[in-house]
Structure 1
Amino acid sequence: MNILIVFDHPRRDGSFCGAVVDHLQEGLSAAGHTSEVADLRAEGFDPRLPVADEPDWDDPAKVYSSEVLREQARVMRAEALAFVFPVWWWSFPATTKGWIDRVWNHGWAYGSRKLPHKKALLIGTASSDAEAYAKRGYDTAMQTQLVTGIMQYCGIPEARLELLYDVMAGAEVRDQQLARVRALGASYF
């Protein structure tokens, strides 16, 4: 199976999120899968929604900008999707949100047509611990927004949110999280 990994962090090298991508790819490869990384920041993806990419509710067959068409083709080459991102304000960073806003457009990912993918894995890194997320309901809110409100709404029936909590706690915690990510890559898809 070919998995598109949508990565959003200012730095791939030297960041924990970058290490998550590497370990996810290791797990995928060990299970016989292939992967492609869409590094939104490094590739210079513009998350702003121009008029050319604004949904046309009366025309689900609208042709969008060449940048969006390229991204849509990349999504369609994949059989499943993964997202790796730092949790900022209890959600994706703005670049990922803008990528979804522009690329997963009306008539292509929702509306009269849905995405054909059966699985998506969302991996968010969090500096807080699980108790803080549960206490305030952030974990439930993210599950509702990202899994139900985006992935399932766009036709992906099996979507899973994995939050890697407390990643600032030190090397031992990060090593455990990376082993967990590698195992997810080997078993989820």
Structure 2
Amino acid sequence: MTPLIQAEQAVLGAVFLAPGQLERLSPWLRPERFSRPVHTALYAAMLTLRADGHRASKAQGSIPVPVSWVTETVASKHTRSLTASYAHTLISACPRPKHAVVYRRMVLEGAIHRSVARHAMRLHQATRADAFRGGVEETLRHAQVLADLARRWDSEPRPVAPPASAPAPLAQPLVSGCWLMSAGNAC
């Protein structure tokens, strides 16, 4: 299992354990940011229950979460294929419910990586197609999309200076049964 899937499970488990955290998560985390469809559907169901005024979603602190929160989320129209045992797997995947904001950030970073990879693949395909056609229009359009993504995430590309010098080897390779040192001494 990848760390991204573990982060998705942890954030969903945190919301199962402390539904009041949806207030802090929902402005940033949207259902389509999850990589697995079941996670997308489950988070959408949680947001729907919160919007419908489920009493658990208003609870703050260490108040025991009503079982109805888990059962109604699992039984929601958004999550038909979800089983109760998977919901409990999500709950057990959350080591610390208070860290839901950190798990949210991991999920968002995964979504950013997937988006950049998808657009980079499109840029590559457009570049090859433009090279075949003898134009650059599609390449420029896809390059602009990547530049817009970088600006939106405040991560403008920055040039990196090459290293000043390569580190010198400590010893030269074994030649005829002995090591030759940097000073040129032979065995």
Q: Same fold (TM over 0.5)?
A: no
Structure with greater strand share of residues: 1
Query: TM-score, structure 1 length as denominator?
Result: 0.23
TM-score in terms of structure 2 length: 0.24
Quick check: which has more Rg, 1 or 2?
2
Q: Which structure is richer in relative contact order (CA contacts within 8 A, separation 6 or more)?
A: 1
